[in-house]
């Protein structure tokens, strides 16, 4: 029988112009479109061509005009700084208009680029919105990124102004940003005319006369600036993602389609209503921060939580429960790695008992594959739906999800449920033929992609085609592998280059990780494929144990090898694992499996720019050396 999801999904594929044209009625347009879907320059599809709009107006000003001026737009919560701050929509309008005036006074106009190199403070969102207000293109670079990585982004985006802060707070660490920024500008061939620096009490920045402006002083003397009309197809932002060549790829997001997709998703994917408190526990430097800390909640008239803290250690594994209880959060969206950290430090969720979460409704997980054990742990203790969903920097919003605002389907652990309306997800084999249900292949999306996705890469149209459209003509290559079962549930098993070939058998490291994570003593894990002369590759497991485990390591290792043999079979050839104190991760929480594999295979590797702690790679190398894999340093 047809349900709301089936009807919406089928219409989104059969009549995309009608479907998204109706969704676009929730956005305030200065001029409506000539075409909902412009296919004239395929594969460079454009949504709402001919329309004129302003993103900042829709995210801020319209809510003031419609009576939400007194409602909190942003709740800033920094347990390390000891600050909680509520910013109303009316206050946000004033802050944004004034900072837009600052940027305009520095010569920033429609189409100019502004790099934002900021910590998790409200001013980061203000700077983003101020750029959108002017029609300028912002490019947020994760705060604390290494100077050479920032320099490559400065050269590619060629910003007129860079907005930064004196420092950021990473857990208990204070990271001075200004020296990194100064070094990056020195390294870059492109030199921005000005920087605007937010002074924070933890660090005093050294200012360069004539180039650097103090945020507070600049805003105090600025005149508020009105919203500037832009084309719906004009770029809103550039967000850089690592490229295989070492040259970052600048993912472009437009104004019109981006707003339509994100506002639609708030209602139909996340089942959130205007006025509710929505928290995406991420960082503005990542795509989740762009989409679901700043733009989507504000477009929808919600209160968004901007949290400058960690899931553990600020001060303990009850940090998330405190934020949810204190701010009456209805919906939380975070990465599985956050919950693995909480589970590791507080396996029985004892700290949860200190807080009232009766108003909390749904937990969403994304950013990496959600292992069933962690998902079930969250279900057991939170007693609310825990929804895994799958998307990417390039897509800007969910490809697959349990669309809570349309039709809640039974959860299948290990699956982000079904393709979201607008996404024609298919599985192709090496011959580009559709795989039958249950068979692992390349997960692809039939073109055109829905609104809100990347129309191209910044100044790199051919690289856009080569990276995403060339290998499977007519499809967007996700570079993820998986399968679709007989019920239409999608399973994202691993990156396609993480499918390992053991004696001719294509095996998913994700499936093995599921088994390892199910062991009662394992907090988190990773599996990589390492070179083997006889079989091509063999799987190698890394285990991080839960706090308080006293069982001998040898016994645990023996048990996990037996588990994999029992649940996947001897074909997996899983015989070796090692216990480590922690896994190497990016600052956004993704495990650096590729780097671990290079270490194990004695290959040279480049220190990942986004690594959370470079010293951990030495620990991994020591662990691998002890079991005979890594070369001695």
In a domain, residue 259? The reply is yes
**Mean pLDDT lowest among 69-83, 147-161, 311-325, 502-516:** 502-516
- What's the rounded Cα separation, in Å, for the pair 529 and 527? 7
Of 482, 514, 549, which residue constitutes the final position of a domain?
482
pLDDT grade for 246, boundaries at 50, 70 and 90 = low
How many beta carbons lie within 10 A of that of residue 506, not counting itself? 13
Check residue 241 and give its pLDDT. Answer: 84
Mean of per-residue pLDDT scores for the chain: 93
pLDDT grade for 504, boundaries at 50, 70 and 90 = low
User: What digits encode the pLDDT tens for the residues 601-626?
Assistant: 888 888 877 777 888 888 899 888 88
For the segment 242-267, the average pLDDT, to the nearest whole number, is 87
Are both 477 and 509 inside the same structural domain?
no
Q: Is the pLDDT of residue 18 over 60?
A: yes
Check residue 149 and give its pLDDT. Answer: 82
Of 417, 448, 482, which residue constitutes the final position of a domain?
482
In a domain, residue 632? The reply is no
Are both 91 and 179 inside the same structural domain?
yes
Check residue 633 and give its pLDDT. Answer: 39
**b or e along 555-585 (b: 16 or more beta carbons within 10 Å of the residue's beta carbon)?**
ebbeebbebbbeebeeebbbeebbbbebbbb
113-117 and 475-484 beta bridge pairing: unpaired
Are both 550 and 412 inside the same structural domain?
no
Check residue 497 and give its pLDDT. Answer: 65
Q: What are phi and psi of 154, to 5 degrees?
A: -65, -45
Are both 478 and 567 inside the same structural domain?
no
Q: Is the pLDDT of residue 501 over 80?
A: no
User: What digits encode the pLDDT tens for the residues 181-205?
Assistant: 999 999 999 999 999 999 999 999 9
How many angstroms from the chain centroid is the CA of residue 311?
16
Are both 527 and 472 inside the same structural domain?
no
In a domain, residue 496? The reply is no
pLDDT grade for 630, boundaries at 50, 70 and 90 = low
Of 451, 482, 513, which residue constitutes the final position of a domain?
482
Q: What are phi and psi of 128, to 5 degrees?
A: -60, -50
How many residues would you count in the chain? 633
The 8-class DSSP code of residue 175 comes to: E
37 to 170, 397, 419, 473: CA distances (angstroms): 43, 19, 20, 20
Q: Which residues pair with 175 in a beta bridge?
A: 168
Query: What sign has the CA pseudo-torsion 281, 283, 286, 291?
Result: positive
499-502 and 505-508 beta bridge pairing: antiparallel
- The pair of structure tokens assigned to 330 is 């209805």
Check residue 176 and give its pLDDT. Answer: 95
How many beta carbons lie within 10 A of that of residue 265, not counting itself? 29
Contact 372, 404 (CB under 8 A): no
The pTM of this model reads 0.88
CA atoms within 13 A on the CB side of 48: 32
Could you tell me which residue, 172 or 253, shows the higher pLDDT? Answer: 253
Are both 183 and 305 inside the same structural domain?
yes
Are both 447 and 515 inside the same structural domain?
no
Q: Which residues pair with 500 in a beta bridge?
A: 507
In a domain, residue 336? The reply is no
- The pair of structure tokens assigned to 331 is 């919906």
How many angstroms from the chain centroid is the CA of residue 232?
24
- The pair of structure tokens assigned to 55 is 């993103």
Residues whose CB is less than 8 angstroms from the CB of residue 615 and which lie 6 or more positions away in sequence, other chains included = none
Contact 447, 43 (CB under 8 A): yes
Are both 140 and 218 inside the same structural domain?
yes
- What's the rounded Cα separation, in Å, for the pair 566 and 546? 23
Residues whose CB is less than 8 angstroms from the CB of residue 14 and which lie 6 or more positions away in sequence, other chains included = none
The 8-class DSSP code of residue 59 comes to: I
For the segment 33-38, the average pLDDT, to the nearest whole number, is 98
Residues whose CB is less than 8 angstroms from the CB of residue 489 and which lie 6 or more positions away in sequence, other chains included = 412, 415, 417, 418
User: What digits encode the pLDDT tens for the residues 420-451?
Assistant: 999 999 999 989 999 999 999 999 999 999 99
We report the CATH number of the domain holding residue 20 as: 3.40.50.12780
Range of the domain at 232: 4-309+389-482
Check residue 299 and give its pLDDT. Answer: 98
Contact 255, 95 (CB under 8 A): no
Are both 426 and 518 inside the same structural domain?
no
Check residue 244 and give its pLDDT. Answer: 46
In a domain, residue 471? The reply is yes
Residue the block writes with tokens 């995406």: 280
For the segment 252-272, the average pLDDT, to the nearest whole number, is 98
Dihedral angle of Cα 556, 558, 559, 562, to the nearest 10 degrees: 160
In a domain, residue 343? The reply is no
User: What digits encode the pLDDT tens for the residues 268-320?
Assistant: 999 999 999 999 999 999 999 999 999 999 999 999 999 999 999 999 999 99
Q: Is the pLDDT of residue 93 over 90?
A: yes
Check residue 391 and give its pLDDT. Answer: 94
Instruction: Return the biggest CA–CA distance within the chain.
Output: 71
Q: What are phi and psi of 58, to 5 degrees?
A: -70, -30
User: What digits encode the pLDDT tens for the residues 395-426?
Assistant: 999 999 999 999 999 999 999 999 999 999 99
Q: Is the pLDDT of residue 347 over 90?
A: yes
In a domain, residue 383? The reply is no
- The pair of structure tokens assigned to 542 is 């890394």
Contact 26, 263 (CB under 8 A): yes
User: What digits encode the pLDDT tens for the residues 207-242?
Assistant: 999 999 999 999 999 999 999 999 999 999 999 986
Contact 333, 364 (CB under 8 A): yes
Are both 449 and 571 inside the same structural domain?
no
- What's the number of domains the chain is made of? 2
Are both 430 and 544 inside the same structural domain?
no
CA atoms within 13 A on the CB side of 436: 0
We report the CATH number of the domain holding residue 622 as: 3.30.300.30
User: What digits encode the pLDDT tens for the residues 100-140?
Assistant: 999 999 999 999 999 999 999 999 999 999 999 999 999 99
Are both 511 and 394 inside the same structural domain?
no
How many angstroms from the chain centroid is the CA of residue 14?
29
């Amino acid at each position: 029988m047809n349900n709301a999801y089936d009807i919406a999904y089928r219409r989104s594929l059969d009549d995309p112009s009608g479907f998204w044209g109706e969704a676009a009625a929730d956005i305030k347009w200065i001029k409506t479109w000539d075409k909902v879907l412009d296919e004239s320059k395929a594969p460079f599809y454009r949504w709402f061509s001919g329309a004129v709009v302003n993103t900042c107006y829709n995210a801020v000003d319209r809510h003031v005009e419609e009576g939400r001026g007194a409602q909190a737009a942003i709740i800033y919560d920094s347990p390390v700084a000891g600050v909680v701050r509520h910013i109303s929509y009316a206050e946000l309008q004033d802050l944004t208009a004034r900072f837009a005036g600052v940027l305009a006074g520095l010569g920033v106009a429609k189409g100019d680029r502004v790099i934002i190199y900021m910590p998790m403070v409200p001013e980061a969102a203000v700077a983003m919105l101020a750029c959108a207000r002017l029609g300028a293109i912002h490019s947020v670079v994760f705060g604390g990124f290494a100077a050479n990585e920032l320099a490559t982004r400065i050269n590619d985006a060629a910003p007129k102004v860079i907005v930064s802060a004196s420092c950021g707070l990473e857990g208990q660490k204070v990271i001075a940003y200004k020296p990194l920024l100064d070094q990056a500008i020195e390294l870059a061939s492109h030199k921005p005319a000005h920087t605007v620096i937010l002074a924070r009490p933890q660090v005093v920045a050294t200012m360069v006369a004539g180039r650097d402006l103090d945020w507070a002083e600049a805003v105090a003397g600025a005149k508020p600036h009105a919203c500037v009309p832009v084309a719906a197809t004009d770029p809103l932002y550039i967000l850089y993602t690592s490229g295989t060549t070492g040259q970052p790829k600048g993912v472009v997001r437009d104004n019109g389609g981006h707003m339509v997709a994100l506002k639609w998703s708030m209602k139909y994917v996340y089942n959130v209503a205007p006025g509710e408190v929505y928290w995406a526990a991420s960082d503005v430097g990542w795509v989740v921060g762009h989409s679901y800390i700043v733009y989507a909640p504000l477009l929808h008239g919600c209160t968004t939580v901007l949290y400058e803290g960690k899931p553990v250690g600020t001060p303990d594994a009850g940090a998330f429960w405190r934020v949810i209880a204190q701010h009456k959060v209805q919906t939380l969206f975070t990465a599985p790695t956050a919950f693995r950290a909480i589970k590791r430090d507080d396996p029985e969720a004892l700290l949860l008992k200190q807080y009232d979460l009766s108003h909390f409704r749904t937990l969403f997980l994304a950013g990496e594959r959600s292992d069933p054990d962690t998902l079930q742990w969250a279900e057991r203790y939170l007693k609310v739906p825990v929804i895994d969903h799958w998307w990417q920097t390039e897509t800007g919003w969910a490809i697959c999800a349990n669309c809570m605002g349309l039709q809640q389907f039974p959860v299948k652990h290990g699956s982000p449920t079904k393709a979201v309306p607008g996404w024609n997800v298919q599985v192709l084999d090496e011959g580009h033929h559709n795989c039958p249900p249950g068979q692992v292949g390349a997960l692809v999306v039939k073109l055109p992609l829905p609104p809100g996705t990347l129309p191209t890469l910044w100044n790199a149209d051919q690289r856009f085609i080569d990276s995403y459209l060339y290998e499977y003509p007519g499809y967007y290559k996700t570079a993820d592998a998986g399968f679709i079962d007989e019920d239409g549930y999608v399973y994202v098993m691993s990156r396609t280059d993480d499918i390992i070939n053991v004696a001719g058998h294509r095996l998913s490291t994700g499936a093995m990780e599921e088994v390892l994570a199910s062991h009662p003593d394992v907090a988190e894990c990773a599996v990589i494929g390492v070179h083997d002369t006889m079989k091509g590759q063999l799987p190698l497991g890394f285990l991080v144990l839960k706090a308080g485990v006293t069982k001998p390591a040898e016994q645990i290792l023996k048990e996990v090898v037996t588990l994999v043999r029992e649940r996947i079979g001897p074909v997996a050839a899983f015989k070796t694992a090692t216990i480590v104190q922690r896994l190497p991760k990016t600052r956004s929480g993704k495990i650096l499996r590729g780097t671990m594999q290079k270490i194990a295979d004695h290959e040279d590797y480049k220190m990942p720019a986004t690594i959370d702690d470079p010293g951990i790679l030495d620990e991994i190398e020591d662990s691998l050396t002890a079991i005979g894999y890594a070369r001695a340093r």
